[in-house]
Amino acid sequence: MEIIMFLVFCFLSSCFLIFTTARFRRSSYQAARLPPGPPRLPIIGNIHQVGRNPHRSFAELSKTYGPIMSLKLGCLNSVVIGSPEAAREVLKTHDQILSGRKSTNSIRSINHHEASVAWLPPSSARWRLLRKLSASLLFSPQRIEATKALRMKKVQELVNFVSESSERGEAVGISRISFTTALNIISNVLFSVDIGSYDCKNSNGFQETVIAGMEASGKPDAANFFPCLGFLDLQSNRKTMKASTEKLFRVFREFMDAKTALRNESTDVSNMDFLDSLLALTQGDEPEIDNNDIEHLLLDMFAAGTDTTSTTVEWAMAELLKSPKTMAKAQAEIDSVVGQNGVVEETDISELPYLQAIVKETLRLHPAVPLLLPREAEADVEILGFMVPKDAQVLVNVWAIGRDPNVWENTTRFEPERFLGKEIDVKGKDYELTPFGAGRRICPGLPLAVKIVSLMLASLLYSFDWKLTNGVVSEDLDMDETFGITLHKTKPLHAFPVKKRSTSC
């Protein structure tokens, strides 16, 4: 009996040894294939290395650990992408597996991840419906062409306001005026009314509300790294997000209620705006969407269509004020095309290659969303020889790619000339420059955003010369950043406009 027991023990021990050895080898194989990364501290992992500006921290770490880097942020496995080749793998080759979203704690606090084009997974029927509605009702070539006169009108109102400020000898806040213009373009497309005001006294705080929400949803949060801490809201991101979105939702509901009342009184369907079209889909026995869907879709449109646009215009103007020769060159090009007509037309932009290069160079150095929105691996996937594990957060650092010395010369210098005579564009095909993303997750509003930014910038440069406020010289202009989902200029840019010519239509 003892011999039999001994033999059974030996057999079981052998099986256990074989099993654990095989498992160890398999685990070691997988671990060896994980992307390299910095050493981790117990419990917190690499959280201490994230910093206030994660895009910069990750770029610095990538110099040591390479363009595909693995980090452990508390409980969160993260892979940071920092080269065009790796970005192509994520955004194109393995787009389907890596197109899920790793939503943040603040986004989940308002359930935006369950009703948002930006945060829903592409595999869901709800995402496909909302994406289709956005594309057909807002961003199709036909709809963009149909709203061209509206964009021209709102940009002319911007120029008129700046002209009045020039006559009074007042400096203007570039971020505020460009946000107001973008806000009124978007609000007219959505609701057929102006929401923004250039008068500070009549400001409704929309810009502050949108920026607060963008910062709360994007900046580092302990609850993103340790989900069990979410209810504590240690950094008040949930509180800020709820307050800012509720303010916007109240505005949306007012428009929805007013339009519903008008719809009940009239059957006229001519001149329907975006909200009219959405509300029509809530009718019937089996409505396609409900009011909650509409509120969250409008939130997407406002956040993506206003803050990112004004931020890009402000960074472009800041770079031009730091480089007066570049500004003069741009103004000379615009003058040669527009002449003395007094108004920049949207059709003029295609004839302004240097202006287009300025917009691209601005997006290279200052992408509005420096890490894109976080993706999630739906399965293990191999990227350039490294394993990205299932459920890992994947961050594409387009800010770092835009400053990669292996791709760009003079990486930190503002040189629009680098794009002249080259086919590099921002439309998601050139992975060294993807500020709007690429693949199925590419920003659907890209064509409209580029048009608005280009028209605003060209109009400001055509109608005015610009000078920095007293005591500030171009070389010392503050270019510090504040990180959220979007990348803002910490100290808002103010400048004096000097009128060059008549600004009225």
| Orientation angle between helical segments 324-338 and 446-463, nearest 10 degrees | 90
8 Å CB contact between 338 and 488: no
pLDDT at 205: 82
pLDDT average, residue stretch 341-356 = 95
Mean of per-residue pLDDT scores for the chain: 90
Residue 390 domain flag: yes
Q: Is the pLDDT of residue 459 over 90?
A: yes
8 Å CB contact between 186 and 301: yes
Of the listed ranges 39-43, 126-130, 227-231, 348-352, the one predicted with least confidence: 227-231
Residue 418 domain flag: yes
pLDDT at 471: 77
Share of the chain above pLDDT 70, in %: 91
Q: Is the pLDDT of residue 343 over 70?
A: yes
Residue 25 domain flag: no
Query: Rounded to the nearest 10 degrees, how much is the dihedral formed by the CA atoms of 256, 259, 265, 271?
Result: -150
Q: Is the pLDDT of residue 70 over 80?
A: yes
Q: Is the pLDDT of residue 464 over 60?
A: yes
Task: Measure Cα distances from 408 to 317, 327, 426, 480 in Å.
Answer: 22, 22, 15, 22
Residue 336 domain flag: yes
Q: Is the pLDDT of residue 268 over 70?
A: no
Q: Is the pLDDT of residue 400 over 90?
A: yes
pLDDT at 265: 65
8 Å CB contact between 372 and 326: no
Burial of 281: CB neighbours in 10 Å, binned 0-12, 13-18, 19+:
middle
Neighbouring CB atoms inside 10 A of 274's CB total: 22
Residues 6+ apart with CB under 8 A from 209: 244, 247, 248
Residue 474 domain flag: yes
Q: Is the pLDDT of residue 10 over 80?
A: no
Residue 386 domain flag: yes
pLDDT at 24: 37
Q: Which of 3-7, 111-115, 303-307 has the highest mean pLDDT?
A: 111-115
243 HSE (CA, 13 A, CB side):
12
Q: Which domain holds residue 273?
A: 47-499
pTM for this one? 0.90
Residue 265 domain flag: yes
| Sign of torsion over alpha carbons 248, 220, 479, 360 | negative
What CATH number is attached to the domain comprising 127? 1.10.630.10
Q: Is the pLDDT of residue 14 over 80?
A: no
Q: Is the pLDDT of residue 59 over 70?
A: yes
pLDDT level of residue 17 (50, 70, 90 thresholds): very low
| Orientation angle between helical segments 308-322 and 174-191, nearest 10 degrees | 150
pLDDT one-digit tens code per residue, 169-220:
999 999 999 999 999 999 999 999 999 999 876 667 888 898 899 888 888 8
Residue 31 domain flag: no
3-state secondary structure at position 394: strand
pLDDT at 7: 32
Number of helices followed by number of strands (H, E) in the chain: 18, 12
pLDDT level of residue 272 (50, 70, 90 thresholds): confident
Beta strands in 54-112 (DSSP E): 68-73, 76-81, 100-101
Q: Is the pLDDT of residue 266 over 80?
A: no
pLDDT average, residue stretch 376-405 = 97
pLDDT at 304: 86
Q: Is the pLDDT of residue 267 over 70?
A: no
Number of domains in the chain: 1
CA gap 15, 415 in Å, rounded: 66
pLDDT one-digit tens code per residue, 74-109:
999 999 999 999 999 999 999 999 999 999 999 999
